[in-house]
Structure 1
Amino acid sequence: MTETDNVLFSTLTMNPQPLHLDAEFSAGTEFGQRLVNSMFTVGLVVGIAVPELTLGTTVANLGFGKIDFPAPVFHGDTLRVETEVVEARASQSRPDAGIVTFEHRSYNQRDELVCRARRAALMHRRPAS
C-alpha cells in the first residue's frame, strides 16, 4: 500500500477524511499515522483475487455481506489475500449461471488479519455435457 494509492483513491472518491490524508492530524490519533482508506483496502482485496479466481467468469457482483477491518492498514504494508468459496448454487432464473459466495481474507506482512469480506456473485456455469 503506497501513500499515492491512498491519496488518489481518497480524493477520487471525494473522501476528505484527515485520517487518510493529513499526517499531522493522524499523528495525534491512537494510530499515530495515516490509515489506508478502508474502501480502497476492500476493493484491492477483491481485485487481487480476480486473476486466479474469477477472471472472465463473473457476470455481476450481487452484493457484499459482512465486511470487517480487524486491524488497520498503513502506508508501506504488503497485503496477501486468500479466498474461500463458502456457498455455490445454481441460479433459479438463469440456467447458464450460478450464485457463488466468497469469503476474502487479507493479511499484512505481520500475518495480521486486516480485512474479511463476504461477497456474492453471479457466475457463468460450465455448459451441460
Structure 2
Amino acid sequence: MTGTNPTDGVPAGPTAGGGGRRVIEQRGLYFDELEEGVLYAHRPGRTVTETDNVLFTTLTMNTQALHLDAAWSAGQPFGQRLMNSMFTLATMVGQSVTQLTQGTIIAQLGLTDVSFPHPLYHGDTLYTETVITGKRLSASRPGQGIVTMEHTGRNQDGAVVARATRSCLMWTRGAHQDQPGAQGRMPV
C-alpha cells in the first residue's frame, strides 16, 4: 500500500499494512551514489565451514580431492583441505550485494583479474571490501551506467585470499524511480 504526503499529494512510498507508517526498503547504491576511490567495507564477515565447502563442491560437481579428501590433502603442500575457490569468489561478491547492488543492478557484465593469493581454510572468516575504480554513463542505455569495482577478500588475519575486478550495469537513481513498479516492489 502506498501513502500520500498530505501537504503536496506526492506518493510517500510504501506503508506498512496500511497503517500510515512509511517504509524504507533496504537497497544498494545507485550509479550516481557510488563514489570512485572510496573503500566500501562489507560487514559482517562470513566464517566458512567444512559443510559450506562440501555442499558447494558437490553441488557444482567439482570433485577435486583438495576440497573433499582430508587424508589426501594432508599430504599436499598446504597440509589440509582448501575452501573451493569458486565458493570464495561467490561469497566475496555476495558480501558486497546488500551495500552496493541490491535492487540497483541491471546486469553483471563480467569478472576479470580473478586471483587467489592465499588459501581460505575451514574455520577462517572472510571479510570483503570493495573500491569503485571507474564509472561512466552508458552511451546506448539512458539512465544506466557501467561501474567497475575491485573486490578484495581477506581472512581474519588480514591475508588477501581473493581479488576480482567486476563490471556491472547499474541504474541511475532518477531512471530507476521512473520505472513501473520501482516503488514498493516487495510486499511488506
Give TM class, smaller chain: over 0.9
Distance 2:111 2:127 in 1: 20
Alignment of 1:42-81 (within 5 A): 42-81=89-128
Distance 1:114 1:80 in 2: 10
Following superposition, the deviation at residue 52 of structure 1 comes to 1.0
How far 1:123 sits from its partner (Å)?
Answer: 0.5
Structure 1 runs of 4+ off > 4 angstroms? Answer: none
Partner of 2:66: 19
Match of 1:68, as an amino acid?
Answer: S
Task: Quote the offset at 1:96 in angstroms.
Answer: 1.6
Alignment partners' CA distance in 2, 1:70 and 1:60: 28
For structure 1, the residue ranges without an aligned partner over 5 or more in a row are: none
1:111 to 149, 158, 167: 158
User: 2: distance between equivalents of 1:126 and 1:88?
Assistant: 15
The size of the alignment, in residue pairs, is: 128
Partner residue, 1:98: 145
Which AA in structure 1 matches 2:129? Answer: E
Letter in 2 for 1:44: T
Root-mean-square deviation (CA), in Å? 0.8
Q: Which runs of no fewer than 5 residues in structure 2 stay unpaired?
A: 1-47, 176-188
- TM-score scaled by structure 2? 0.67
Residue 92 of structure 1 deviates from its aligned partner by 1.3
